Amino acid sequence: MSGYERRALVASPTAPAQAAAAELADAADWVDVENADVVIALGGDGFMLQTLHRMLERRTSPTPVFGMNLGTVGFLMNEWRRHGLEERLARARPFQVTPLQMTATGIDGRIHTLPAINEVSLLRETRQTAKLEVMVNGRVVLPELACDGILCATPAGSTAYNLSAHGPILPLGAGLLALTPISPFRPRRWNGAILRDQARITLTVLEPAKRPVSAVADQREVRDVAQVDICMDRARELTLLFDPEHALDDRITMEQFLG
């Protein structure tokens, strides 16, 4: 037995995910997510992020999630198979993922606190270049960064937007964060930094009225920010389950050898 006796099934609204959910409808006595020992998520990486954020919103400890890919990339997912779910859950390897916490202060003074599993990104809202002050652990490390934006990625998110912005791939469990500029103009040769995950990062928007910037925690956006504080939220650790032959740490490692 897998130890996950009470199972919930959630699926993306896409046609392939809904068809797969229909195939699994009679495979178990499914329960609500709130009462489940494990959540089976059908969809792509975007839907997996939505499901994980749903876990973070619960007052109890987040429920482990076993995803099956019915999307495009499926980096956070296992292979879709209709049969053998019981055996797969029994063999699944758990991986703990610690989200970031973004505290964004708007130019209107309002404060927004949001979690991010992959990354927190700051992006210019207009054709005007963003100008940011970068502070790490209370020390100003870049008085002025002129850029399209900047992002802070977790190891789980380091192969997503961070990699597209030419940031480093971080091994899972390395205790590191990637701080990566997006199209930096000045200093042009600054390629970013690798920080310990105990770091507290403060990004202050310079000239926020003239050069407005938005802050995005995964898929949730706060516009017209004046300052963004980022740190790890160790009180809300998530658990992802993977087939041993498709484990998340192996996938992250192999991404470093792909062209």
Binding-site sequence positions for NAD(+): 45-46, 118-119, 148, 156, 159-164
**β-strands 38-43, 65-69 pairing:** parallel
CB contact at 8 A, 184 and 147? yes
Per the DSSP assignment, residues forming a β-bridge with 11 are 42
* Residues in CB range of 107: below 8 A, 6 or more apart: 208, 209, 224, 225, 226
**Which regions of 148-250 does DSSP assign to beta strands (E)?**
149-153, 176-182, 193-196, 201-206, 213-217, 220-222, 225-232, 238-242
**Catalytic residue (choose from 45, 224, 249, 250):** 45
Angstrom distance (rounded) from CA 238 to CA 96: 6
Angstrom distance (rounded) from CA 23 to CA 30: 13
**β-strands 201-206, 225-232 pairing:** antiparallel
108 is catalytic: no
Binding residues: 45-46, 118-119, 148, 156, 159-164
CB contact at 8 A, 215 and 204? no
Total Cβ atoms within 10 A of residue 140 = 12
Give the distance from CA 63 to its chain's centroid: 17
Residues serving a catalytic function are 45
